[in-house]
Amino acid sequence: MKIYTITCHDAYNHGASLQAFALLRYLTKCGHDVEVIDYKPAYLSNHYNLFRIDNSKWDTNLLTKLIYLGIKVPLRIPGFKRKRAFDQFTASYLTLTKCQYHSNEELKDKLPERDVYLCGSDQIWNSLYQNGKDPAFYLEFVPEGKIKASFAASFATEEIAPDLAPIVQKRIKRLDGISVREKSGINILNKMGIYNGKQVVDPALLLSREEWNEIGKKQFHDKYILVYDFDNNSLIKEVAVKISKEKDLKIYSINPGKVNYADKYFRHVGPDVFISLVRDAAFIISNSFHAAVFSVLYQKNFAIVNREESINTRMRDFLEDLKLESRLINPHYKMKDLLNPINYKESELILNEKITQSKFYLENVLHPGEAAEPSLSENG
């Protein structure tokens, strides 16, 4: 089959890049001809814009703009090392369409037709962000008669705004196959009267550890805790420092900024180094969904903390599904429980079954009625 996927593939976020790669790689491995639509609307194109003005107070006249940019531009220039690392990953591992597209209308008018169109994964349906309101991420541009489906699309929240629900409902009902990443996503679909949605795994879990090791080529030999923190979270810092002292581990940080207590910083690395850092870590503490995913994939000891934003259903649902909810910690955590090695035996069985069902969903979307439903005992 000739397949297009559309997702937030170029958001300069480790998880976003890796999930885009994973779905592409899995479908290609299944023998399909796959490209990621190089979709970059204006709201997803402002990363690393040297001359952006983030504070409207400074955007009043030429003088204030010049003062603001005179302060900000020198601080932004070092960040372009990180941009280069991500761009290199994209060039090496993502097969993109030859043309870049910037709107749903442009996709309608200029995108060559294919057999199948898949939207997802990641937070493409998160209506707190502009992408959750963008018709392109619901495949509205797809011509009639073509297969269109979601794979592991995430709302990332418990509910969507009442004024948006009718629009989202109409868009999703057009799809031939509907799958979401979280069980909370199934609840949202049901509230909209959509009952044929399936819950599937994040695309990263469609690939094996061995396949991910082909990406994570860098080796780290220190014993360290990996911190990946979007909020400069005090609980993450507390846990990292305590475990570091208790177990004589260094602290590595993969944040582009904010964290200031680590022994070593990886501010300007790409998704390939993220894989290596997770794989080689002794312990991982984060508020990132994909840090949880790759911690489980590599069967690491880890702890997850909620984000300040209201997008925590992703981590909660993922860990609850695998009976690892104790790894989602709060300020009342007990250090001895946190340091007990995770027994992955039951979680691995549950996860393998979910992977098998997710692959079946994809096969059924691509070849309706032909895929044989897997037995409950079959591993993915």
Please calculate the CA angle 130-133-136 and round it to the nearest 5 degrees: 100
pLDDT-based confidence at 378, cuts 50/70/90? very low
Phi, psi dihedral angles at 220 (to 5 degrees): -120, 125
Residues 68, 23: Cα–Cα separation, whole Å: 41
> In this predicted model, what pLDDT tens digit does every residue of 259-284 receive, in sequence order?
889 999 999 999 999 999 999 999 99
In this prediction, residue 374 carries a pLDDT of 63
Give the model confidence (pLDDT) of 342-363 as tens digits: 999 999 999 999 999 999 999 9
Q: Hunting for tokens 């790669």 — which residue is that?
A: 21
DSSP bridge partners of 303: 285
Distance, in Å, from the CA atom of 275 to the CA atom of 184, rounded to the nearest integer, reads: 27
Closest CA to 207 of 121, 321, 84: 121
Q: Which domains does the chain have, with CATH numbers?
A: 2-46+81-207 (3.40.50.2000), 213-342 (3.40.50.2000)
The residue type at 58: W
Mean pLDDT for the chain overall: 92
Contact 131, 123 (CB under 8 A): yes
C-alpha span between 244 and 251 (Å, rounded): 7
> In the predicted model, what is the mean pLDDT of residues 162-173?
95
Give the model's confidence band at 62: pLDDT under 50 very low, under 70 low, under 90 confident, else very high: confident
Three-state secondary structure of the chain = CEEEEECCCCCCCHHHHHHHHHHHHHHHHCCCEEEEEEECCHHHCCCCCCCCCCCHHHCCCHHHHHHHHHHHHHHHHHHHHHHHHHHHHHHHHCCEEEEEECCHHHHHHHCCCCCEEEECCECCCCCCCHHHHCHHHHCCCCCCCCEEEECCECCCCCCCCCCCHHHHHHHHHCCCECEECCHHHHHHHHHCCCCCCEECCCHHHHCCHHHHHHHCCCCCCCCEEEEECCCCCHHHHHHHHHHHHHHCCEEEECCCCCCCCCCEECCCCCHHHHHHHHHHCCEEEECCHHHHHHHHHCCCCEEECCCCCCCCHHHHHHHHHCCCHHHECCCCCCHHHHHCCCCCHHHHHHHHHHHHHHHHHHHHHHCCCCCCCCCCCCCC
User: What is the arithmetic mean of pLDDT over 7-17?
Assistant: 94
* CA 249/CA 241 separation, integer angstroms: 9
Predicted confidence (pLDDT) at residue 76 exceeds the cutoff of 80: no
The amino acid sitting at 93 is Y
What's residue 377's pLDDT? 42
Q: What is the pLDDT of residues 310-339, one digit of tens each?
A: 667 889 999 999 999 999 999 999 999 999
Nearest to 257 by CA among 100, 75, 72: 75
pLDDT tens-digit readout, 127-156: 989 999 999 999 999 999 999 999 999 998
What per-residue confidence (pLDDT) applies to 371? Answer: 59
Indicate if the pLDDT at residue 380 is higher than 50.
Answer: no
Window from 65-69, 122-126, 353-357 with minimum mean pLDDT: 65-69
